[in-house]
Structures are given as C-alpha cells and as structure tokens.
Amino acid sequence: MPRPRSTRRGRGILMAMPERSLLLAALPWTALGLQAWWLCLLQSLGVWLSLKSRSRAALPLGLLLLALAAALLNMPDVRRAALTFVITGPLSLLLAAGILGARTGRRWALALPAAALLIGPSFVGALALLVGALGLGNPDERSSSQPLRPSASPRPLGWLLGAALLIAAFAALPRPSLPHLDRTPIDVVERVTAPGAKAAAPRGSRTPRPGPAQVTRPPRPDHSLQTLLNAATLPLLGMLLLCLAILRRGWGRGGPRAQPLLAVLTLALLLAAGLFVLGLLLQPQAVYRVVGQIVTPGTPEPPAGRGPAAAAPPPAAALLLPDWLIWSVSVLGLLLLAGAAWFVLSLKEPPEDQPEARPVPETDTPAEEALGRVRAAYAATLRRLASRGLSRATHETPDEFLRRAAARWPELQTPLAHLTGAYRPVRYGGAVDESQAAAAERAAADVQLTLLNIPDSSERQP
C-alpha cells in the first residue's frame, strides 16, 4: 500500500532540516550591534563545537574566553580593553544561558538573545534570532545532534514573525547612543558651578547675566572616588570565592599537575574577572556618565590691585556619582561572581570522564575452591611425570594415563589411585568436598617426593 504524499513530504522536510546545533549557532549574531562581526562568527563556531561535545560547561567558558581574547586585542590600551570586556563578558554569559535553555526546549531562553538584540538592533541579528528559534529543542530531547522535527502548530512561528516586525520597527526609531567604547554618550548630566566662585560672563555682553543656581551642599568629587574604592572590595570578594571554588574542583581531580587544562582555565577566568572589575573602576565616566553629575569649577576672580590673571588651562571636569549606584553595581558584581562560584561547584563530571570502576574480584565458594585445588594437584602431577619422560597421549583418559604411570613406577600406585579417585568427579562435572581436595594435594605431593627418590637408571619400562 503506497504511503500518502503528506507523509512523504513531511519525511523529506525532516531529512532536509539541519542539525539543531547549527541552528542554535546563529544566536550569537543577535549581539552584532554590541560587538564586532568577527567575534560573532567565532562565538557561533564555538557554540557549534560546544554543543557537539555535549558538555554544558564548555559553552559558557568558550564564549567567555573568546570575549576575553577579543578584548585583549586592544592592548596596550588597557582602558579600551577593560571597557570592551565590561560589555562583551556579561553578554557572552547571557548568550550562553539563552542557548543552553533553548537547547533543552525552554522558550523563555530566547528572551535573553532577544534582549541583546533590542539593545543593539540589526537586521542580521533579527534574522539570527529567527534561525535560532527554529532550533528550539524538545524538553525530552537532550541530544544536540538530533534533527529538528517540524512543529505541528504554526502558533510559535506567528509569535516569532510578530517579534521580528516589532524589532524592525524599534530599529527604525531614533535612539540615544550607547555609552560604550568610542561611541559618544549623551551628556544627560547636570552641570553646576562650584560654590565660592562666580560664573564667567560671556564675551560681548556688558550686563552680567545671573549665574546658575548655587547648590546647597558642596559637591565632593573625591567622595565618589573613595566610595568606588570601598565598594571595590565586594567584587574582589566575589573573585576570591570564584578562585576558591575553582581550586576546590582542581584539588578534587588531582590538582594542576594532573589537569593542566584546568590550571589554564583558572588563570583565564581570573584574568577575565580582573579585567571586568578594572573596567568598572578604571574609567567610570564612560559607563556611568549618563546618570552622574559633572562639576565644573567656576572661574575665580583676580585679586584686587593686580593685573589680569594669566589664562590657565581649564581644569578637568570631575564626575560625582551617587552612592546608591556605586554600591548597587558592587553588590551585583558580588552576586554574579558568587553565582559563578556556585555553578563551578555544582558541575558534574560527564560519564566519559569518570574513572572506571574496577571490578571487585568475586570470592569463590567452598565447592569451587575445592574443585580448583583438585585441578591444580592433577596438573602438577602431569608436569612432574612429563619431566620424567612420561606424557599423556591424546587418546588416553586421565584414568588410563595414571594406570600406565602406576605400571611404570609401582611405588606410585597408592598416591596415583587417590589422585584418580579425586579427579574423576571433577572431569565429569561432579562436586568434591574439602577432604577430597586435601587427599588430591597429598597424593600430588607424594608423587613428586617419590619421583625425586627414584633414580633414572632404576626406571622400569611397562
């Protein structure tokens, strides 16, 4: 009976679908508006290789190390490298969490790369989000190499198309520039004049204009710097927790000597954490400028009775950050690093990396031990008789051979008779007890001792 066309067509679509790992590898392109295109390409390749290896820890570590390498390419410009990693480091962990969730069939995980797309919209990123959504796995399927089965309901596709239209409309709207790298941030700040100084009058105006309102509390830019230094202890504490967690896992697996790759990863993670904290502390103006308060010192009046003062270069504007923002970012950094430490401690080794359990030798029962003792006594007797020139023929039974040996050496009739009686049940599948095993061992010992006392010249031919 021929199959229906719909079944054949569905099977053809199933066979034509690429692997789920290839579809999920498109999700790093949703961050194209926030990082370089070549970093998106490298992260896509890293996603595909990590999903092929079926290791959950390889994906976030791989994306984070790629972001770290991309940031270090800006060296020796430490400031630019740190500010780059402040954005690309957390972004790589965000993408890794979304990809791992989408791999196991969690639809909410697509909101993570979608958030990166909303921050930096791009047409390629919207297309990558649609392609990655096609790789959404089933909750029961944990393998990333299984082909995608087409969904029976078109509802998810409609939601994805609606989200794509919304993102396209959002991308067409004007938006402020991001306070990131060399992009010029919007100076949404309040400029005030330091107290105790008059504002400079504009040129070409005889009537002085009223200066800006004086603040009631004198701003203290050094207070923000001191608060930054105090709050930096929290991320440093988180770094310490992460280091201890990594070292704990390393000691459990034999230390850096047994696992050199673990030592390299530890150093890379420490470098990433240090670069992230440095990006928060080195130049906070580039990150927090949109919410800070820039204090412009006023122009001091020249002393009375003297000529005009020499023109001095304008002093650098100091940034005054609110304390709640500084401590909020520090607490957030501590929570992120503590969560990373907990994640490292909760990782489980894959089955292939676990040491194979050695088989426990099974102890023989008393009956099996007695059988082994009788076989050993019979084999020792055969070797001793063969050393004296008497070997068993292929057509002989054990009884016939032992009778021929007794005929050649009459002194061996008694021990050979005991050995024959003990070995007969062993040969025909019977059982022996402890007394029969002991009798066989005594008979084998008597045969060896008797043959030692019989010289070769006195041997009698049968």
Q: Please report the pLDDT score of residue 191 as a whole number.
A: 42
Name residues of the chain where pLDDT drops below 50: 1, 4, 6-17, 141-154, 175-197, 199, 205, 215-216, 218-219, 255-256, 258, 286-299, 310, 313-317, 351-357, 360, 457-459, 461-462
Q: Please report the pLDDT score of residue 30 as a whole number.
A: 87
Q: Please report the pLDDT score of residue 17 as a whole number.
A: 46
User: Which tokens in the block code for residue 450?
Assistant: 């008797």
pLDDT tens string 225-271: 667 767 777 777 777 777 777 667 666 555 445 456 666 676 677 67
Q: Please report the pLDDT score of residue 210 as a whole number.
A: 53
Q: Please report the pLDDT score of residue 226 as a whole number.
A: 67
Q: Is 296 helix (H, G, I), strand (E, B) or coil?
A: strand
- Kindly write down the DSSP assignment for every residue of 312-379, as one continuous string: -PPPPPEEE--HHHHHHHHHHHHHHHHHHHHHHHH----GGGSPPPPPPPPPPPHHHHHHHHHHHHHH
One-letter identity of residue 415: P
Query: How far is residue 82's CA from residue 62's CA, in Å, rounded to a whole number?
Result: 19
Alpha helix (H) residue ranges in 104-154: 111-119, 123-134
pTM: 0.41
User: Which tokens in the block code for residue 286?
Assistant: 């580039």
Q: Please report the pLDDT score of residue 320 as a whole number.
A: 63
Asked if residues 367 and 422 have their Cβ atoms less than 8 Å apart, the reply is no
Query: How far is residue 34's CA from residue 119's CA, in Å, rounded to a whole number?
Result: 8
- Kindly write down the DSSP assignment for every residue of 140-192, as one continuous string: T---TTSBPPPPS-SHHHHHHHHHHHHHHHHHHS--PPPSSTTSPPP-----E
Query: How far is residue 57's CA from residue 461's CA, in Å, rounded to a whole number?
Result: 79
